[in-house]
Amino acid sequence: MRKILTITFALVLAGFAAIAVFIYPAVRDTGLQATGYVAKNICSGHFVSGLAPERVVEEALRPIDETLASTEYIVDEDARAVDVAIYGLFERRAIHLPELGCVLIAPGEETVGFDLSPREQGRRSSEPWPIGEGPVNQGMAGVDYDALNAAIDDAFADPDPAFPRNTNAVVVIRRGELIAERYDEGITLNTPLISWSMAKSVTNAQLGILHGSEDLPLFGSIPVPEWQGADDPRAAITVDQMLRMSSGLEFDETYAVGTDVTRMLSLEPSAGRFAAAKPLAHEPGEVWAYSSGTSNILAQVVRETVGGAPQDHYDFAQDNLFGPIGARSFRLETDASGTHIGSSYIYATARDWARLGQLYLEDGMWNGVSILPQGWVDYSRTPTTNNPYRNYGAHFWLNCDPVPGTPPDQTFPAPMWPDAPRDAYSMNGFQGQHVVIIPSRDLVIVRLGFATRYLESGVNDLIAGVIAATEGAE
């Protein structure tokens, strides 16, 4: 009998051991992704935006998941780092690098493996925006400032306290002049704020510059090492198809633990390499499928095209995009390999986001100098043909009407803003980050914050209110 019990006990232990072998890797990945996400977002929110860690937890993390908000963290002010662990396990660290932002350290590593020398940006002048950071123009002829301020009041209000909008900043540009702005408590015109997927439109700008200099073709083959094998069908993918979310690559954009996008942003040391390793799910160009993975492949392509080192990419962006338009606050955060996370992680002030929007409104020109090549803005806002909603161009969202007969899409409604003109197009990001460009009204509207419900951030009403208030300024 004792022998039977011993054998039974051994079999049970073996069974548990076998289960652990199969289950633990998944548990480990889940823990590392969760702690990585918390570390990265608290680090950037605190050391880049200057927000209290508790505010980042309450406004940015808790609406996503209660578990994330309950995860223990330690902020090391001297080291400018955030450490996160769950019951002492799955430890992750994010560190702040001056003028770059925060970087999530790869699991098992202690620091990043690259060097980057940032530039001193200096103080801005007191000249009017966009040249300097002078005061708002509160006297533009024909503007109903009472109505304009009321529209902004509404943008900062919370009609449903259970689902706050958490609006942090609103900036309004009319005919190239700053006519209104407002910030939430603890945030100023000098506070860099997160982009989320607005970063994709910044990736668009960099690719436009490279295309204009003939360093990167839109429709030819591109230098992605993972696709250079003999007869690899992915070699047929073009920059155009990736900008239009039509690469055909397999990628799960569902934001949940264990999915491709979460793993890419919170666990993988190289976001671009991870996404580039994905197989084809469809023939390139056939199916529209929103994918942050393709944006990070493109960011990797930009880095390799301009020299290959993180410093090369940083210098390229400063010299060719941000510097010429005077947008000094932009922080292009990178993964652990030093490559910009072109899908999601950029920080800039609301005024600098408006500068980028104004660049597109002015067809890529700035003070008479061409920053983006001729035709690039029209290309960027041309609807992607395999998307029946016609609400996506080339890493920009469009406010077009869908193809007649197309059933409604609750995830990506079209038009996104029913009360905005159909020529409006925008940079959009998670939790209600928006730079809305309206050529027919000569308007750029910026809204940044941590909206609990992405589609209920109040932007449609804000646009309608701003248009009504500025109709007389012709």
Q: Is the pLDDT confidence value at 473 over 80?
A: no
DSSP class of residue 106? P
Q: Is the pLDDT confidence value at 17 over 70?
A: no
Q: What is the pLDDT of residue 270?
A: 97
**For the chain, what is the mean pLDDT?**
93
214-256, pLDDT tens digit by residue? 999 999 888 899 999 889 999 999 999 999 999 999 999 998 8
Q: What is the pLDDT of residue 19?
A: 46
Count of alpha carbons within 13 angstroms of residue 314, beta-carbon side: 20
Q: What is the pLDDT of residue 316?
A: 97
Q: Spell out the domain ranges in the chain.
A: 2-104, 145-470
Is there a contact between 336 and 112 (Cβ–Cβ < 8 Å)? yes
Q: What is the pLDDT of residue 4?
A: 57
Q: Which residues have C-beta within 8 Å of that of residue 421, sequence separation ≥ 6? A: 399, 438, 440, 441, 467
17-26, 103-112, 357-366: range with lowest mean pLDDT: 17-26
Q: Shortest CA distance to 393 belongs to which of 417, 371, 423? A: 423
Count of beta carbons in the 10 Å neighbourhood of residue 406: 13
Q: What is the pLDDT of residue 29?
A: 87
Task: Return the percentage of the chain with pLDDT > 90, whole number.
Answer: 83
Count of alpha carbons within 13 angstroms of residue 52, beta-carbon side: 6
193-202, 283-292, 451-460: range with lowest mean pLDDT: 451-460
Q: Which long-range contacts (CB under 8 A, 24 or more apart) does 416-422 make?
A: 416/391, 416/460, 417/459, 417/460, 417/463, 418/460, 419/460, 419/461, 419/463, 419/464, 419/467, 420/460, 420/463, 420/464, 420/467, 421/467
In which band, very low, low, confident or very high, does the pLDDT at 24 lie, cut at 50, 70 and 90? low
Q: What is the pLDDT of residue 20?
A: 42
Between vectors from CA 321 to CA 315 and to CA 322, what angle results, nearest 5°? 80
In which band, very low, low, confident or very high, does the pLDDT at 7 lie, cut at 50, 70 and 90? low
Q: Is the pLDDT confidence value at 11 over 50?
A: no
Q: Shortest CA distance to 344 belongs to which of 200, 178, 467? A: 200
Distance CA 199, CA 178 (A): 23
67-105, pLDDT tens digit by residue? 899 999 999 999 999 999 998 889 999 999 988 999 999
300-339, pLDDT tens digit by residue? 999 999 999 999 999 999 999 999 999 999 999 999 999 9
Task: Return the percentage of the chain with pLDDT > 70, whole number.
Answer: 95
Please give the average per-residue pLDDT across 266-272, as a whole number.
96
Q: What is the pLDDT of residue 124?
A: 83
Q: What is the pLDDT of residue 115?
A: 86
Distance CA 333, CA 114 (A): 13
In CATH, what class is 145-470?
alpha beta
Q: Is the pLDDT confidence value at 474 over 70?
A: no
Q: What is the pLDDT of residue 16?
A: 43
Q: What is the pLDDT of residue 438?
A: 98
145-183, pLDDT tens digit by residue? 999 999 999 999 999 999 999 999 999 999 999 999 999
To the question of pTM greater than 0.85 for the whole model, the response is: yes
Between vectors from CA 429 to CA 135 and to CA 256, what angle results, nearest 5°? 145
Q: Is the pLDDT confidence value at 414 over 80?
A: yes
